[in-house]
Amino acid sequence: GAGVSQSPSNKVTEKGKDVELRCDPISGHTALYWYRQSLGQGLEFLIYFQGNSAPDKSGLPSDRFSAERTGGSVSTLTIQRTQQEDSAVYLCASSLATGVGSGNTIYFGEGSWLTVV
Amino acid sequence: AQTVTQSQPEMSVQEAETVTLSCTYDTSESDYYLFWYKQPPSRQMILVIRQEAYKQQNATENRFSVNFQKAAKSFSLKISDSQLGDAAMYFCAYRSRHNKLIFGTGTLLAVQP
């Protein structure tokens, strides 16, 4: 696609329910990132994919959070048994990642706004 | 672990004036990239400028320029001739050799007409 696409753009869910957030990166981008941004806060790193593997999962806040990427393309972030503190914007980004420490531009989607009530 | 610090939660500038946003970072790596991103109310993250750590020359993009001080681990953004459309949240970011992108907490810039 032309840009990073995320869905849903907005999601309201009840506490305790599971949610899935989807990210469709720019075609050909091998690197994919998930970030969480709470209201008025900075971007909190969650997980990074290179192809289908996740070299860095250090930012996942708890075992209720998981992510996968299949076919080196679409990624899904799953939050199980949602809590009110999970309410935030979840941003996905992608880039070409050639070599170590690439300076290739990272492109962001418009985010999925999750509200847990 | 790398960290990025933005010590100015909010800044204000008059239209047509110049403003500088501060950013410091901590790392033990010698090769990395630094970025400034802009996030308007639409939430879309927009790349403003980037700097390769191995380059001594400061990056410039039209009205935006950086002051990169590698030894001091400082990476400030200067916006010249500020425009109303520059009002946004600005994030400084560090990209490590492992391609992990780490953000500061942001500076909210207001532009006064």
From chain B, the residues in CB contact with A111 under 8 A are 43
CB contact set of A77 (below 8 Å; sequence gap of 6+): A20, A21, A23, A34, A46, A47, A65, A66, A67, A90, A92
Q: What's residue B95's pLDDT?
A: 87
Verify whether the Cβ–Cβ distance B97 to A48 is below 8 Å: no
CB contact set of A14 (below 8 Å; sequence gap of 6+): A82, A116, A117
Residue A33: half-sphere exposure toward Cβ, Cα within 13 Å = 24
Verify whether the Cβ–Cβ distance B42 to A89 is below 8 Å: no
Query: pLDDT at residue B99 above 90?
Result: no
Q: What's residue A102's pLDDT?
A: 56
Question: What CA–CA distance (Å, rounded) separates B47 from B90?
Answer: 10
Of A95, A106, A108, nearest to B44 by CB-CB distance is A108
Per-residue buried b or exposed e for A9-26, using 16+ beta carbons within 10 Å of the residue's own CB? eebebeeeeebebebbbb
- Interchain contact B31–A (C-beta under 8 A): yes
- Interchain contact B101–A (C-beta under 8 A): yes
Question: What CA–CA distance (Å, rounded) separates B50 from B43?
Answer: 20
- Interchain contact A52–B (C-beta under 8 A): no
Range list of H helices, A48-88 = none
Q: Which residues of chain A have pLDDT under 50?
A: none
Each residue of B27-48: pLDDT tens digit?
A: 998 888 899 999 998 888 999 9
Mean pLDDT (chain A, rounded): 90
Cα B93 to Cα A63, B22, B112, distances in angstroms? 27, 12, 26
- On whether the CB atoms of residues B5 and B24 are closer than 8 A, the answer is yes
> How, if at all, do strands B88-95 and B101-103 pair?
antiparallel
Question: What CA–CA distance (Å, rounded) separates A114 from A89?
Answer: 6
Verify whether the Cβ–Cβ distance B52 to A103 is below 8 Å: yes
Chain A residue with the nearest C-alpha to that of B53: A103
What is the distance, to the nearest Å, from the Cα of residue B61 to the centroid of all Cα atoms in its chain?
12
Q: What's residue B43's pLDDT?
A: 82
Q: What's residue A103's pLDDT?
A: 61
